[in-house]
């Protein structure tokens, strides 16, 4: 049992010192296989058999479609709609950023792509309207992980694949938690800025004129908004599998980016293809190594060891779940969302099931935890990215970030964890038990 604990320490240590994630997993795998006297002949087929599935084709296709929509200037019409509707509120442009991030996140499925695209469009507008730069950077960083929750989400495809669950149910499990985060972020943002007199609001306009402008901008945004409708409608209508839907999304994004929004050209189209290939290669290598490592962890009864350790602290399932949440937040702080779900699912899901958590419910818990981990200081990869894009000092973003986490992400996490209906109602209502 000592060797599995050493393997876990090797994994965590290499991650903390900045070793690339695939190499960190590989180091732990090699150590555990060598000192555990496992034969490579028995382990390599495990990784191959796990990866030999059509479901995984959805990952590069969703990465490709998200990259195409990011380069295709899709964020502009989405931001314009939200700005028209909420611009008359003090702090309303921040609400527009939250909503635009949620919609774009549903299209791209990537937190980093959402932040890059929405931030590039919205940061200049926020600065022009007098919003504190640190607050703006914090708000959009905290909104970016909505792409992990609002379906379709590559994160949930990976979770469903590792856990051998329905992709559709995992998609639906994160919808209501994602909407809760949207509402709480918007309210917290408005409360934080309610006394800020430096913010410039939209001039008063007759309701009919606002409706007319909104209708015009909605028409411009319709090709972009149709993308998640086509994907989710095709999946839930039984017309397409998630993999087929990902392929349709990638094909649909090409004419939309080239001909409608005109953000795509031959150069950035080629760049997207290269970025997709590189990202896919990294993800697939990581999947192969992680599948072998997770099998070794199971052979060594690591979930049982962790559960026994947690029960030595408390036998209460609510307390155990709280400790699992803390662990998942730390994982989200140390690594990207793909690595986080691949590490957490095989190790923590058996523990959650043992204390009575439904695996579909755990999908929502994991999604909210990893999203919150990506914005939680001191590591907070999305927060540093947001600071770079907005040119805000990182120390000016820390205070607003902690307030937004406390006002939105933390309550959403507690609600998702301890009120199972929040995650299970939609999957059960639409797809049955």
pLDDT in tens, 94-131: 888 898 888 877 776 677 778 877 887 788 888 888 88
Neighbours of 157 (CB within 10 A): 24
Note whether 167 and 409 are within 8 A (CB).
no
Residue-by-residue pLDDT tens, the chain, 433 positions: 678 888 888 887 887 787 877 788 888 888 888 887 787 777 777 777 777 777 778 878 878 887 787 777 776 777 777 777 777 778 888 888 898 888 877 776 677 778 877 887 788 888 888 889 999 999 999 998 887 888 878 788 889 988 889 888 998 999 999 999 999 999 999 999 888 888 877 777 777 887 888 888 888 878 877 877 787 778 777 788 878 888 888 888 889 888 888 888 889 899 989 988 888 888 788 788 877 887 788 787 878 888 888 888 888 998 999 999 998 888 888 777 777 888 888 889 999 999 999 999 999 999 999 999 889 877 777 888 888 888 888 888 989 999 999 999 999 999 999 999 999 999 988 877 6
Residue that is written with structure tokens 């590189």 in the block: 278
Task: Kindly provide the residue ranges of all beta strands, DSSP E only, lying in 299-428, ordered along the sequence.
Answer: none
Name the residue among 159, 172, 193 with its Cα closest to residue 339. Answer: 159
Residue found by looking up tokens 């958590």 in the block: 357
Angstrom distance (rounded) from CA 370 to CA 89:
31
For 357, phi and psi rounded to 5 degrees? -90, 130
Q: What is the pTM of this model?
A: 0.85
Cα(327)–Cα(325) distance, rounded to whole angstroms?
5
Q: Is the dihedral of CA 170, 292, 348, 276 positive or negative?
A: negative
Length of the chain, please? 433
- Tokens 């917290």, residue located: 188
For the record, the structure tokens of 279 come out as 């990202």
* CA–CA dist 29, 430 (Å, integer): 40
Cis ω before 268 (30° cut-off from 0): no
The position carrying tokens 């609510």 is: 318
- Bond prior to 378 in cis (omega within 30° of 0): yes
């Amino acid at each position: 049992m000592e060797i599995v604990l050493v393997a876990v320490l090797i994994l965590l240590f290499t991650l903390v010192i900045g070793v690339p994630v695939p190499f960190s997993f590989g180091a732990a795998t090699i150590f555990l296989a060598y000192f555990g006297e496992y034969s490579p002949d028995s382990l390599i087929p495990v990784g191959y058999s796990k990866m030999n599935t059509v479901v995984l084709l959805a990952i590069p296709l969703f990465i490709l479609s998200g990259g195409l929509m990011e380069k295709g200037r899709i964020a502009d019409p989405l931001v314009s709609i939200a700005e028209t509707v909420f611009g008359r509120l003090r702090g309303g442009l921040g609400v527009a950023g939250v909503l635009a991030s949620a919609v774009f996140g549903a299209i791209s499925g990537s937190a980093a792509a959402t932040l890059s695209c929405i931030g590039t469009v919205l940061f200049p507008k926020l600065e022009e309207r007098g919003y504190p730069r640190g607050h703006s950077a914090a708000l959009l960083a905290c909104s970016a992980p909505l792409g992990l929750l609002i379906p379709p989400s590559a994160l949930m495809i990976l979770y469903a694949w590792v856990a051998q669950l329905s992709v559709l149910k995992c998609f639906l499990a994160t919808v209501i938690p994602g909407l809760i985060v949207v509402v709480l972020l918007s309210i917290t943002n408005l409360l934080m800025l309610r006394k800020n007199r430096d913010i410039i609001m939209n001039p008063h306009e007759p309701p009919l004129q606002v409706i007319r402008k909104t209708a015009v901008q909605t028409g411009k945004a319709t090709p972009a908004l149709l993308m998640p409708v086509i994907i989710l409608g095709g999946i839930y209508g039984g017309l397409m599998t998630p993999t087929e839907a990902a392929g349709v999304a990638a094909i649909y994004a090409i004419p939309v980016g080239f001909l409608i929004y005109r953000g795509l050209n031959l150069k950035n189209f080629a760049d997207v293809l290269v970025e997709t290939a590189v990202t896919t290669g990294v993800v697939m290598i990581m999947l192969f190594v992680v599948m072998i490592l997770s099998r070794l962890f199971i052979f060594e009864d690591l979930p049982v060891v962790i559960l026994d350790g947690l029960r030595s602290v408390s036998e209460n399932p609510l307390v155990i779940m709280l400790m699992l949440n803390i662990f998942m937040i730390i994982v989200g702080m140390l690594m990207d969302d793909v690595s986080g779900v691949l590490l957490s699912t095989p190790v923590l899901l058996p523990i959650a099931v043992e204390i009575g958590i439904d695996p579909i419910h755990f999908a929502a818990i994991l999604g909210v935890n990893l999203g919150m981990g990506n914005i939680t200081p001191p590591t907070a990869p999305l927060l540093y990215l947001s600071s770079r894009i907005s040119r805000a000092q990182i120390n000016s973003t820390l205070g607003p970030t902690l307030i937004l986490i406390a006002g939105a992400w933390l309550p959403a996490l507690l609600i998702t964890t301890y009120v199972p209906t929040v995650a299970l109602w939609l999957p059960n209502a639409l797809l049955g038990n």
